[in-house]
Amino acid sequence: MKFISFQTIVMILLLPELLQAQDVNDKTLLKIEGRNTEAGEFIRMYKKSIEPGKTLNIDEYLQQFISFKLKVADAIKQGLDTTRSFKNELNGYRNQLAQNYLTDPKTKEEVLAKAYQRYLTEINAWHILIACLPEASPEDTLRAWTKANDIRVRVAGGEPFEQVARGSSDDKSVVTNGGNIGYFSVFQMIMPFEDAAYNLKKGAISELVRTPYGYHIIKVTDRRQSRGRIQVAHIMKAVQPGNGEKESKAAEAEMNLIYNELAQGGSFIELAKKYSDHKESGVNGGKLNWFGSGEVIPDFAEAAFSIKDTGQFTRPVKSLYGWHIIKLLDKKAPGTFEEARSFLDSKINQSYLNSISKKSLIEKLKKEYKFKINTPAYNWFISQTDTLIMRGLSKYKRDSMPAGNLYTFADQRFTIREFAAFIEKRGPMIATDSTKYFIDRSIDTRVSDHITAYENSMLEKKYPDFRYLMNEFHDGILLFDISERNVWDKVSEDSIGLRNYYERHKKDYLTPMAVEARIYSLKSPGNEKKLISAYKKLSRKSDPDKLLMDKFSKKGDTLLLIEDRTWFEGEDPRIDKIKWVKGTVFSTSENNPPVIVVKKVFEPAPLPYEQVQEEMMKGYQDELETEWIRQLKQKYTVSIDNQVLTHVKKKLTDE
């Protein structure tokens, strides 16, 4: 004899409660044509279908949901999920949706917080550029990197930065500024440049900074608190860069005359319109858009920010492009984080944000999936990689290559041989003489791509919301395609079917009941009995209406109103109150016309086909859909797990 333990008895007794306590989302609620639908998907769709402030019967919605799933099953049966257009559309939705799961959602807030801190600080920097476009050949890239590195050694060793910049920088503005780009703040430089500059201490020189323009060497000479943003107006006399002293002196003389006129009370707006060479702002009285440091040329910005009070203006100021008189219109301090948030958000470089979001996610996934690198294999690559391999001119020796994996994570692995082939195929993508740097960056690139692809493949398993949304996209596309084929196209193309539907349902599309009548009423009450008496006497005579009008007209003021037309039911309460029978109705009440003559009654009749065709298409569509659902219920077996349905109802009711 076998004995059941006390604990087992308790478990058996509590089994229904335990099952009910479990999350029912992952359980199968219904099956149609071998395709399972999870309870969680039904719950999600049910909640989305509830209108605010209203309730939705669960059993009634379940029948709608089943009809929806039957249509999808029919679409799959017809192979609509195998077409190229379907796959392309679904993949497009998935790629868009996946991006939200393949970046770190917290990163944006961190980027905004960092941007705000930079927003509060302005940096003055010098730089040297060695041009190297992204599409440059590996040889040209390495040549540019080597040249830039040699120049950095010179300035780090003490050579005057401006002197070296003027003799070597590929930035054309170096001719006029000696490499000094002035003060700037957040979002005013390309992001790698900005990152490097803000991470430098005052007086420090950066490592080589790669941007799409080439390699930069940056020196920070000052940091100061942000002065915010200002709006100014200006009057300008242009002097083209490179023109001689004579042209500049002539422009300065003109500006001094304008300044004297302003000082004597002249209108800045009118003088800007009349004399400014900057026509775009001149037509607006010299008014410019709001700007901060770094957004306009340094000489102009420094002069503008030096004005203390609104309404004041500068003496003539020289810039690279000529002479200016600048008037301060308004100032804005940097503001709080919340005040600056919308501005910062609008300026964030999305590709940069995605890049750092992805890096953050990769680090988290490495921990989650227990990423592990094979240290001996890593060291082997560092020892066996030379400049020829880094430049794509040589390959690794396979006979001395160890076996095994370079790294592993989750159930994934990447072998040493695979990584060697990856480097050889990738070629000289990293310009450096450091073997360790080259291997580290190569591993980072490969791991990032590998772990991202793996995470992408796991989204449906890891995130129920992602899975439900993909099911929704999948079924929604199929529903549209199958409905178009079985219903919508038929409605628009089947003229005979639509005409037959009209014949079956034309009594549902009737004209309203109507009456043709003549109403006699008075503008002012009190003479109803006189009107009735007069009508009875004159109605049999020739042209009674004229006789009545003559009788009730005094001193050119017509008191009698006569209306003769067709009224529809519900259109006029005066007509609706009486019985619609041919004849005359008299009334002495102030609220009713004294005389109503009912001439003809029109009973409701079917509206012409052409008049109701568009309206009938909706009815015909409903009829086709109802018949289609009836056929689908006969064609496919629907299996509902009533136990799961009970738990679903309880879950929805409790919420």
pLDDT score at 210: 93
pLDDT score at 556: 64
Non-local (6+) Cβ contacts of 592 within 8 A are 574, 577
Laid out side by side, the sheet with 121-131 consists of 180-184, 121-131, 214-225, 209-211
Non-local (6+) Cβ contacts of 341 within 8 A are 112, 116
Q: Please answer whether residues 449 and 418 qualify as being in contact, where contact means their C-beta atoms are separated by less than 8 angstroms.
A: no
Q: For 9-64, how does the pLDDT look when each residue is reduced to its tens digit (9 = 90+)?
A: 333 333 344 344 347 888 999 999 889 999 999 999 999 888 888 888 999 999 99
Instruction: Using pLDDT thresholds of 50, 70 and 90, give the confidence band for residue 451.
Output: very high
Q: Where are the alpha helices (DSSP H) in 120-244?
A: 138-156, 161-168, 174-177, 191-198
Identify which has the larger pLDDT, 242 or 48.
Answer: 48
- Ranking 250-259, 343-352, 472-481, 599-608 by mean pLDDT, the lowest is 343-352
Q: Please answer whether residues 568 and 480 qualify as being in contact, where contact means their C-beta atoms are separated by less than 8 angstroms.
A: no
**Residue whose C-alpha is closest to residue 323's, from 206, 257, 237, 443:** 237
In three-state secondary structure terms, 290 is coil
pLDDT score at 432: 78
Q: What is the rounded distance in angstroms from the CA atom of residue 531 to the CA atom of residue 253?
A: 95
- Ranking 311-315, 347-351, 573-577, 588-592 by mean pLDDT, the lowest is 347-351
Non-local (6+) Cβ contacts of 651 within 8 A are 24, 43
Q: What is the rounded distance in angstroms from the CA atom of residue 429 to the CA atom of residue 438?
A: 9
- The structure tokens 């289609």 sit at 628
pLDDT score at 588: 83
Q: For 392-401, how does the pLDDT look when each residue is reduced to its tens digit (9 = 90+)?
A: 889 999 998 9
Average pLDDT, stretch 610-618? 83
Average pLDDT, stretch 531-540? 89
Amino acid identity for residue 446 in this structure: R
pLDDT score at 14: 38
| Residue 324 in this model has a pLDDT that exceeds 70 | yes
Residue 336, sorted as left (phi over 0), alpha (psi -120 to 50) or beta, turns out to be beta
Non-local (6+) Cβ contacts of 238 within 8 A are 251, 277, 278, 321, 322
Non-local (6+) Cβ contacts of 609 within 8 A are 499, 502, 506, 616
pLDDT score at 77: 93
What percentage of residues in the chain have a pLDDT greater than 90?
57
pLDDT score at 614: 81
Angle (nearest 5°) at CA 442 between 368 and 129 = 120
pLDDT score at 11: 37
DSSP element (H, E) containing 381? helix 375-384
Q: Please answer whether residues 72 and 479 qualify as being in contact, where contact means their C-beta atoms are separated by less than 8 angstroms.
A: yes
In three-state secondary structure terms, 340 is helix
Non-local (6+) Cβ contacts of 589 within 8 A are 528
State both tokens at 275: 């004399």
What percentage of residues in the chain have a pLDDT greater than 70?
96
Q: Return mean pLDDT, the chain.
A: 88
Average pLDDT, stretch 569-592? 88
| Residue 387 in this model has a pLDDT that exceeds 90 | no
pLDDT score at 2: 39
Instruction: Using pLDDT thresholds of 50, 70 and 90, give the confidence band for residue 555.
Output: low
| Residue 328 in this model has a pLDDT that exceeds 80 | yes
Q: What is the rounded distance in angstroms from the CA atom of residue 615 to the CA atom of residue 433?
A: 76
Q: What is the rounded distance in angstroms from the CA atom of residue 618 to the CA atom of residue 612?
A: 10
Q: What is the rounded distance in angstroms from the CA atom of residue 38 to the CA atom of residue 22?
A: 14
Q: Please answer whether residues 646 and 39 qualify as being in contact, where contact means their C-beta atoms are separated by less than 8 angstroms.
A: no
Q: Please answer whether residues 207 and 152 qualify as being in contact, where contact means their C-beta atoms are separated by less than 8 angstroms.
A: yes
